[in-house]
Structure 1
Amino acid sequence: MKPDDFDYVSKLLKERSGLVLTKDKAYLLESRLMPLARKRGLKGLDELMAVLRKRDAAVEKAIVEAMTTNESFFFRDNKPFDQFRSVVLPNLLKARANKRSFRIWCAACSSGQEPYSLAMILKEEAARLNGWRFEIVGTDISSEVLKKARAGAYSQFEVQRGMPMTLLVKYFKKKDENWVIDPAIQAMVQFKEWNLLGDLRPLGQFDVVFCRNVLIYFDQPTKGKVLHGISQVLSDDGVLYLGGAETVLGISEHFKPVPSQRGIYAVTRNSGLSLGAPPA
């Protein structure tokens, strides 16, 4: 790819998705965009760039989606989900006992494994949640991965990555080469196309936000912008989950780590849910 074409695409990606692409990743850009060029009947990257420079909105969106990392799997890293089940959820139920409702947001949810994992946890806790209203919202910038998320169909390889066998048997059915998630679990999750760099407030207020392994792709100013946006839609005593390699320290004044709960953060305007131990 020509240097000026690389710079043009890099700027587009930064503006539209926050993704920072350094010159040593030129090979990655070419490997992701060549299939896109072929899909559109173009001879190569030069023709694709010629179309892009005409400000073709469809091509711009396709390039951003092609460069977005969509790595995800069920119950990824386990510990965050164990924390949710044994610490966050019990304390959330105590804190919301009066209104008996709560909302969870999975940002950059990719093909849906994270919100579906949470839905299965809540389904398993049905007895405790009797009479409660809750929502799980999954968002992503890519319309393509959201189609897959809404379909709820996963390959053998995808369900083998982190999925407990007991839950696979209980909540999935084999259909041809895929495993299809139970419609009852599907119905527990709403999927929406949304850009983390945009205004998040129309999504409404949330009590728990998962934004894991997303900030690692952004530069410092963009990380700060995203964290500020999340702070605006997180309830005063809500909690934010980040990935194991991510932190708010030195990036945002809107969040602080929750003591004794690695990877969980509270908004600084309040102490967050009391997460020292689950309520008796």
Structure 2
Amino acid sequence: MSPGDFDFLRRYLHERSGLVLNAEKQYLAESRLMPLVRKHGLASLGELVNRVRLMPSSPLAIETVEAMTTNETFFFRDKVPFEHFRDTMLPNLLAARDRDRRLRIWCAAGSTGQEPYSLAMAIREMAASDKGAALNGFRFDILATDLSGDVLERARAGTYSQFEVQRGLPITLLLKYFTQTGDVWQVSPELRAMVQFRTLNLLNDFTPLGKFDIVFCRNVLIYFDQPTKTQVLNRLVKQIAEDGYLVLGAAETVVGLTDVFKPVPDKRGLYAPNLAAKETPPAVRSVVQRRAL
């Protein structure tokens, strides 16, 4: 891939997905895109880039973006967010929604489905525990979105290899919520029915999704530049109930990016809408944010 082709690819990926590809990552781009070159019978990476340049909204261009995005995930990844979900978010919100008896949860980077299915299992386990009475009559709507349609197709099927189910999934939950066919394990129909999947680019408008009580947006912001992170966070807060929660990845934070969220004390990676920020004029918030940087 020529330097000119790589520069175009970097700009294109940033515009279409927010992905920041450093100059020294050309080898990564080449390794991830070569399978596309072979799949479509192209002569070279240069031909692939040229086709994307000429038809930036073509199916091939979309495949190019999807090939460059990272879909690393596993069940109950990092554990702590799911402990917060069980011990803090659910108890608080169940009490607050006693009248409506409905909770909406959004996994904004659903990938191949391990995160939303982990949340569904956590809900089912709580319902079966001595705290289960608090969930009686509650409706849980879990929406999982991702940029890549291919990974969401895998998520909808709910099928995983032996290696995938061994990453973070306790054996008791594997036997309880999965069935095995050969070397493949499939999530139970009851669990799959709890999750809806939808293709979505976080750079695009997501207001039609409506309001959520909890948003998991983990390990996405780390791939964006600072202005994009701020923009996404400022739009996310509008989709979260005032007493709702935002969950970020272990390496992510809102500090220095925006004041529309505030950390939940003693709960790493957990944030709540900062209601005081809504009373602050946007111009003043902008000055405060620049000073924080």
TM-score w.r.t. the length of structure 1 is: 0.94
Cα displacement (A) at 1:260: 1.6
Task: Tell me what 1:275 maps to.
Answer: none
Counterpart CA distance in 2 for 1:260 and 1:116 is: 26
Specify every segment of 5 or more residues in structure 1 that has no aligned partner in the other structure, as ranges.
272-280
Task: Tell me what 2:272 maps to.
Answer: 266
Q: Which amino acid aligns with 1:156?
A: Q
TM-score w.r.t. the length of structure 2 is: 0.90
Task: Tell me what 2:110 maps to.
Answer: 109
Task: Tell me what 1:222 maps to.
Answer: 228
Cα displacement (A) at 1:176: 2.2
Q: Does 1:14 align with 2:20?
A: no
1 or 2, which has the higher helix percentage?
Answer: 2
Cα displacement (A) at 1:208: 0.4
Task: Tell me what 2:91 maps to.
Answer: 90
Q: Which amino acid aligns with 2:118?
A: S
Task: Tell me what 1:34 maps to.
Answer: 34
Cα displacement (A) at 1:53: 2.0
What CA deviation, in whole Å up to 9, does each residue of 1:76-126 have, x standing for no partner? 011110111122111111111111111000011110000000001111122
Counterpart CA distance in 2 for 1:32 and 1:40 is: 14
Contact 1:102 / 1:135 at 8 angstroms: preserved in 2? yes
Counterpart CA distance in 1 for 2:50 and 2:111 is: 29
SS in 2 for 1:251: coil
Pairing of 1:86-235 with structure 2 (within 5 A) = 86-126=87-127, 127-128=132-133, 129-235=135-241
Counterpart CA distance in 1 for 2:52 and 2:126 is: 49
Contact 1:236 / 1:270 at 8 angstroms: preserved in 2? no
Identical positions, percent: 58
Specify every segment of 5 or more residues in structure 2 that has no aligned partner in the other structure, as ranges.
278-293
Counterpart CA distance in 2 for 1:176 and 1:40 is: 32
Counterpart CA distance in 1 for 2:50 and 2:206 is: 33
Contact 1:146 / 1:193 at 8 angstroms: preserved in 2? yes
Q: Which amino acid aligns with 1:187?
A: A
Task: Tell me what 2:61 maps to.
Answer: 60
Contact 1:110 / 1:140 at 8 angstroms: preserved in 2? yes
Contact 1:237 / 1:270 at 8 angstroms: preserved in 2? no
Runs of 4+ in structure 1 off by over 4 angstroms are none
Q: Which amino acid aligns with 1:22?
A: N
Counterpart CA distance in 2 for 1:95 and 1:243 is: 26
What CA deviation, in whole Å up to 9, does each residue of 1:209-259 have, x standing for no partner? 001111111110000011011111001111100011110000012111111
Contact 1:52 / 1:60 at 8 angstroms: preserved in 2? yes
Counterpart CA distance in 2 for 1:190 and 1:93 is: 21
Cα displacement (A) at 1:60: 1.3
Task: Tell me what 1:51 maps to.
Answer: 51
Contact 1:102 / 1:133 at 8 angstroms: preserved in 2? yes
Cα displacement (A) at 1:270: 6.2
Cα displacement (A) at 1:50: 2.4
SS in 1 for 2:110: coil
Counterpart CA distance in 1 for 2:100 and 2:50 is: 55
SS in 2 for 1:102: strand
Counterpart CA distance in 2 for 1:219 and 1:68 is: 15
Tell me how many residue pairs correspond in the alignment. Answer: 271
SS in 2 for 1:240: strand
Counterpart CA distance in 1 for 2:179 and 2:102 is: 30
Q: Which amino acid aligns with 2:14?
A: K
Moved more, 155-164 or 122-131: 122-131
RMSD between aligned alpha carbons?
1.2
Change (3 A) 1:65 1:251: same
Counterpart CA distance in 1 for 2:216 and 2:102 is: 18
Q: Which amino acid aligns with 1:140?
A: D
Counterpart CA distance in 2 for 1:72 and 1:53 is: 31
What CA deviation, in whole Å up to 9, does each residue of 1:129-172 have, x standing for no partner? 22111200000000010000001000001000000110000000
